Structure formats: C-alpha cells, structure tokens
C-alpha cells in the first residue's frame, strides 16, 4: 500500500492512500506538522510505502519525533533515474519535456517553517495532483519497461538509501573530541589561534626556509614554493608530494612532512572539529545519488574523505562496539558477475580475488593482479597496467570484453546502463561538436587528434560507469538489507523493547563499499551475522544464481582505527 505525503504552503501535511497503480484510493487527511509523526507511527505496522517528493526534507520531521519508517519512494531520486534510464526512454516520463522534477531542489532547509517562500509558489503551481501524476508516470514507466523487476529493485534501493542517509545524518557518527584533540596536539603541537601555525608546523616551515635559503617563504604558496625549489636546482614542474618524493635534497624531508601535517590541520584540524562535531557526534550531510554513477556524495565535513590519520577519534560509546564491514574487491567481483565470467568469479570464490588470479597463474603477484584489474576497469593503456592487460584478457575474456564494449559505446557518444538500470548521461554539445568537427572535410590533424582523445576520455568514463554504478547498486542493496534485518533483531539482553533507537544497533557510516554499525556490545556477534548474510542477499538480488562471492572483511572494534 502506498501513502502519498505532500506538504502544503502553510506547512501542513496531506496524506492520501494510493492503489498499486498510483491512483487515489480513499480519502486524504490533512495533518499539522505536529500530528504527522504520531499518524505515521500508527500506520507503520501495515508497512506502507511512503511516497514523497524528497526524503531529505520530510523525513527529519519524523526523525526528530523519534519515528522511523520502513519503506519509502523518493519521487525526486526515482525521477532522476527513470528520466535518464535507457530502459524507460520510450515512456511518457522519458519523453516529456523537462519539468520541475528535473531541476535541482532549492537548498533551503525546511520550507514550511517560514512564511512566504519559493516553496509556496511551487505549491500554488503544483497541487496534490502534480505529485500523484508524477508517481503514476513513474510506476507506468517501470511497468512498461523491459526490466520492471530490476528497476523496481533499483528504485526501492535508492529510496531506502535516502532513508538511511537521513537517519545517519540525524544520528551521527560517534566522535571523541578529546581523542581527536590529543591526536592533533601530538602531531602538530598545542592548539593556536586562527591564522597561526602550530609549533610543529612552524618549525618545519623554518627548516624548509633554511634549506632553500628564503627566510620569508610561505610554504603554503605553490607558486612561491615552486620558484624556491627551482632556485636551489630542483627540476620540478609542480609541488606534488609524489613528484618531490623522488628527489634528494635537504628540503624534501621537512617539506613532505609539512605537507602532510598542513593537510591534517586544514582538512581535519581543530576548526573542522569545532564545526562538525556536535555533542560527540559527526553529522555529515549525505547526498544519495549525488554522483553520476549512483554513488553518494556528501556536503560539508568531507565525510567520504575521512583520512586514516583521524579515524582513531571514531570510538564506540561505553558498552557499545563498532562493527565495520568492507566488501573486498567489490568492483572486480561486480564485473565478473555483470559479464557472467565464471572463470573470474571462480578466482574470487572464498578467497581474495587478486590472490585467486595469482593462484590461477594469470600474473605473478597480487600487486600485478590488482594494478591490471584496476587498469582494465579504468581504461589504462600504458605502463605496467597496460602491459598486463592481455594476460587478463586471455584468462577472463568475458569480463574484459564487457569493459571494452562499454568503452566503445562511450567513444561513440552512446550511454551505458548498470545492472539495475541506471544509465550514464550523454556527452554535452561541446563534445558532440568536437566529434562533428573531426568529420568535417576541412578537419585538420589537430581536430582529429582532439576528437579522438576526447572520445577515448568519454569511453573511459562509460567503461568505469557500468562497473562503479553496478557496484553502487550492490552496496545500496546490501545496506538496505542490513537496515531491514537490524530492525528485526530482538533486543533481548539490552533491557529494552526495541522501539527506542537509542538502544538498538544502527548504521552510522557508509563509504562506497564499507558500512559501520554502532551496536550494544552484546549484539555485536548478531550484527556481524546480519552484515554477512545481507551481502549474500544483495548478490542474489542483483545476479540471481550466478555463482559469485561477495567477500567481506568484518571487524568488531572499539575504534575505527582498529578496523583494517
């Protein structure tokens, strides 16, 4: 059963039951914002699927009232998928002109809170039926597509992801500011005021200045630093660490150390801590579908780039544990399943996939296996990776053929589609124009070269899209399944009935192919079991009976730094 939720201009909530085809079925109710959570809670036992425009805007209303829902359909996210998918290209939704559903949402939080806003205009222009019509179009597009089952799974997974994202932002990641502060002080020296360098950093800056003989040099200025390096005879064209690493000169060691610590200070220093850690929790804003391939993005706080350096500050509460799980070699396993390459799937059965490739005699070392695989999925042509590719192609012809086919499609400007139906965007007009230019009778050699290089570039994008995007789908299904099973977990032993989320295991972090669950210590074993079985379930959802393993590394720890 569907329950459509729509917000009126004055902040009230309209709820309307819909039939399986998305048509109004029964009478609607008008609720105030305050009444809505209790209403939702009362309906949850019937496991309705809540249909709303934007989970990130409406769900916090429920979360702040302590109410969580099982299932949702996020119209904005699902629209984006169906609009682009080659599987629904001929649907009404696929053929329509751009509408408000195709425009980025205004980033104002809580539109109902203030009086007259842009949102009121929306509501006057787009009443209830606009939302119902959109939902009907989406259901029809799925129903009439060649792969309704896959698309339904994708939309459910995407929407579940939106629920999880809102919940994780709301709950936050346990973060010990005292541990973080101690770590910063150990590395950088005691905290100093804004604009000043901590002691350790200042000393390194002095060493750098002395080594290049420029007492006033600001090591944070790339142009100045580059000039100074050239001045002392170092033939570098940039100040990148990997390039400096190769050189022998007294300035190199302090400079590399400076760069590392300066990065720590600016990216995850005290200022970051003050800004993002509230009451012992890190609350990043996750953006489901924020990356073209379907991966999540984040806004603020750099949650997807938490350096290993500071992970020690992520510590479970007293009496609690962190269960950290990581899908091992996810993308190559996805590739094996996508291409039904049984030899490659076999190489990863019950073991590290790269080790399996070595054991099969394809290459000599795990490092070679890894660099060759990554190269195949990213489109490397030269170097070690390029040299090893033929051996992979011989051992795993189906897998490599799939990546090549995806690349060729991109080079022609065509889109590619993931396992569940997310399609890559088409290249823009400038790309098309450059290609057209190369076919012009008057085209120069340079025109052709430019077109070819640009075509290859887009080919590398589509080549990777199909793997990265399908892996993102697997990860969403995995996490959705974890969430579902966690909620069914009996909370015996915690002295709690289970309605209070403060006492139940819950997801607190997600990083492309890695999840973290914060759980009462007594339930850690059960959580590990759930995380593992959810991976198998996700594999079956995407690939049916195809015999591919999705191996996990799972660790129950007190601190994130202990995982891996």
Based on the shown chain and the rule CB under 7 A, indicate whether residue 380 belongs to the binding site for DNA. yes
Rounded to 10°, the helix 148-171/55-64 angle is 50
Indicate the residue among 91 and 462 with the shorter CB distance to DNA.
462
Mark the segment that binds DNA (CB under 7 A) among 64-72, 203-211, 380-388, 500-508.
380-388
Cβ(498)–Cβ(504) under 8 Å? yes
Q: Cα(222)–Cα(206) distance, rounded to whole angstroms? A: 16
Least distance in angstroms from the C-beta of 555 to DNA: 13
Based on the shown chain and the rule CB under 7 A, indicate whether residue 299 belongs to the binding site for DNA. yes
DSSP lists the bridge partners of residue 14 as 6, 30
Least distance in angstroms from the C-beta of 535 to DNA: 14
Neighbouring residues of 323: CB distance < 8 A, sequence distance ≥ 6: 505, 516, 517, 519, 524, 527, 528, 531, 554, 555, 556
Least distance in angstroms from the C-beta of 155 to DNA: 21
Based on the shown chain and the rule CB under 7 A, indicate whether residue 274 belongs to the binding site for DNA. no
Q: Cα(96)–Cα(89) distance, rounded to whole angstroms? A: 10
Based on the shown chain and the rule CB under 7 A, indicate whether residue 341 belongs to the binding site for DNA. no
C-alpha distance from residue 153 to each of 88, 160, 474 (Å): 15, 10, 11
Binding mask 457-476 for DNA (x = CB under 7 A): x--xx--xx--x--------
Mark the segment that binds DNA (CB under 7 A) among 70-78, 379-387, 485-493, 553-561.
379-387
C-alpha distance from residue 509 to each of 86, 281, 296, 351 (Å): 32, 12, 12, 26
Q: Cα(362)–Cα(343) distance, rounded to whole angstroms? A: 11
Based on the shown chain and the rule CB under 7 A, indicate whether residue 444 belongs to the binding site for DNA. no
Based on the shown chain and the rule CB under 7 A, indicate whether residue 375 belongs to the binding site for DNA. yes
Strand 173-174 and strand 281-282: the pairing is antiparallel
Q: Cα(186)–Cα(385) distance, rounded to whole angstroms? A: 39
Q: Considering only residues 307-326, where is the footprint of DNA by CB under 7 A?
A: 307-309
Among 384, 390, 424, residue whose Cα is nearest residue 404: 390
Least distance in angstroms from the C-beta of 410 to DNA: 10
Based on the shown chain and the rule CB under 7 A, indicate whether residue 222 belongs to the binding site for DNA. yes
Indicate the residue among 254 and 520 with the shorter CB distance to DNA.
254
H-helix or E-strand spanning residue 98 = none
Where are the alpha helices (H) located in 172-308, listed in sequence order?
A: 177-188, 199-212, 222-231, 241-244, 252-268, 270-276
Mark the segment that binds DNA (CB under 7 A) among 78-86, 315-323, 341-349, 506-514.
506-514
Mark the segment that binds DNA (CB under 7 A) among 84-92, 284-292, 444-452, 515-523.
284-292
Based on the shown chain and the rule CB under 7 A, indicate whether residue 241 belongs to the binding site for DNA. yes
Least distance in angstroms from the C-beta of 230 to DNA: 12
Taking CB under 7 A as the criterion, the residue among 9, 179, 191, 378 binding DNA is 378
Q: Report residue 270 CA to chain centroid gap.
A: 26
Q: Cα(238)–Cα(230) distance, rounded to whole angstroms? A: 10
The count of residues interacting with DNA (CB under 7 A) is 57
Indicate the residue among 43 and 203 with the shorter CB distance to DNA.
203
Least distance in angstroms from the C-beta of 219 to DNA: 9
Collapsing DSSP states into helix, strand and coil, what is residue 298? strand
Based on the shown chain and the rule CB under 7 A, indicate whether residue 220 belongs to the binding site for DNA. yes
Collapsing DSSP states into helix, strand and coil, what is residue 509? strand
Indicate the residue among 172 and 520 with the shorter CB distance to DNA.
172
Taking CB under 7 A as the criterion, the residue among 31, 41, 65, 291 binding DNA is 291
Indicate the residue among 4 and 380 with the shorter CB distance to DNA.
380
H-helix or E-strand spanning residue 282 = strand 281-282
- Token representation of residue 326: 């990581």
Mark the segment that binds DNA (CB under 7 A) among 87-95, 135-143, 382-390, 438-446.
382-390
Residues making contact with DNA (CB under 7 A) = 218, 220-224, 226, 238-242, 259-260, 263, 265-267, 272, 287, 290-293, 295, 297-302, 304-309, 371, 374-375, 378-383, 385, 457, 460-461, 464-465, 468, 511-514
């Amino acid at each position: 059963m569907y329950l459509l939720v729509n917000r009126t201009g004055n902040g009230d909530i309209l709820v309307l039951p819909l039939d399986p085809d998305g048509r109004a079925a029964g009478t609607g109710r008008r609720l105030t914002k305050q009444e809505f959570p209790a209403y939702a809670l009362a309906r949850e036992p019937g496991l309705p699927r809540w249909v709303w425009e934007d989970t990130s805007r409406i769900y916090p209303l429920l979360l702040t009232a302590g109410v969580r829902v099982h299932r949702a359909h996020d119209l904005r996210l699902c629209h984006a998928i169906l609009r682009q998918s080659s599987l629904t290209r001929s649907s009404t939704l696929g053929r329509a002109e751009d509408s408000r559903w195709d425009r980025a949402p205004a980033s104002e939080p809580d539109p109902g809170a203030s009086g007259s806003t842009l949102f009121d205009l929306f509501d006057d222009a787009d009443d209830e039926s606009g939302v119902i019509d959109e939902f009907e179009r989406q259901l029809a597009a799925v129903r009439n597509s060649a792969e309704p089952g896959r698309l339904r799974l994708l939309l459910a997974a995407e929407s579940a992801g939106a629920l999880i994202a809102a919940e994780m932002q709301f709950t936050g990641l346990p973060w010990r500011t005292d541990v973080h502060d101690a770590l910063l002080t150990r590395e950088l020296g005691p905290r100093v005021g804004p604009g000043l360098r901590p002691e350790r950093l200042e000393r390194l800056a002095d060493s750098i200045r002395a080594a290049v003989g420029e007492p006033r040099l600001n090591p944070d200025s790339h142009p100045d630093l580059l000039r100074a390096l050239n001045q002392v005879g170092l033939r570098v064209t940039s100040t990148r660490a990997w390039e400096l690493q190769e050189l022998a000169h007294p300035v190199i060691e302090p400079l590399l150390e400076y760069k590392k610590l300066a990065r720590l200070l600016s990216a995850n220093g005290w200022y970051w801590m003050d800004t993002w850690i509230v009451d012992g929790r890190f609350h990043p804003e996750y953006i489901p579908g924020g990356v073209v391939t379907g991966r999540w993005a984040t806004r603020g706080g750099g949650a997807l780039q938490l350096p290993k350096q500071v992970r020690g500050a992520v510590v479970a509460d007293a009496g609690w544990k962190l269960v950290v799980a990581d899908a091992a070699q996810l993308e190559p396993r996805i590739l094996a399943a996508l291409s039904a390459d049984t030899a490659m799937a076999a190489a990863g059965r019950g073991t590290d996939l790269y080790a399996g490739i070595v054991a099969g005699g394809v290459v000599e070392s795990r490092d070679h296996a890894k660099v060759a695989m990554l190269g195949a999925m990213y489109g490397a042509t030269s170097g070690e990776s390029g040299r090893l590719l033929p051996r992979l192609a011989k051992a795993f012809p189906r897998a490599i053929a799939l990546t090549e086919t995806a690349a060729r499609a991109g080079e022609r400007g065509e889109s590619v589609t993931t396992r569940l139906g997310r399609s890559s965007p088409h290249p823009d007009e400038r790309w098309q124009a450059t290609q057209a230019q190369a076919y012009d009778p008057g085209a120069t050699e340079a025109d052709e070269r430019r077109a070819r290089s640009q075509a290859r570039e887009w080919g590398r994008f589509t080549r990777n899209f199909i793997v990265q995007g399908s892996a993102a789908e697997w990860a969403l299904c995995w996490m959705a399944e974890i969430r579902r099973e966690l909620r069914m977990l009996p909370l015996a032993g915690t002295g709690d009935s289970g309605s209070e989320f403060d006492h139940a295991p819950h997801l607190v972090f997600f990083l492309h192919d890695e999840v973290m669950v914060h759980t009462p210590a007594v339930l850690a074993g059960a959580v590990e079991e759930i995380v593992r079985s959810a991976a198998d379930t996700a594999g079956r959802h995407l690939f049916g009976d195809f015999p591919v393993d999705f191996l996990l590394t799972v660790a129950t720890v007190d601190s994130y730094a202990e995982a891996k």
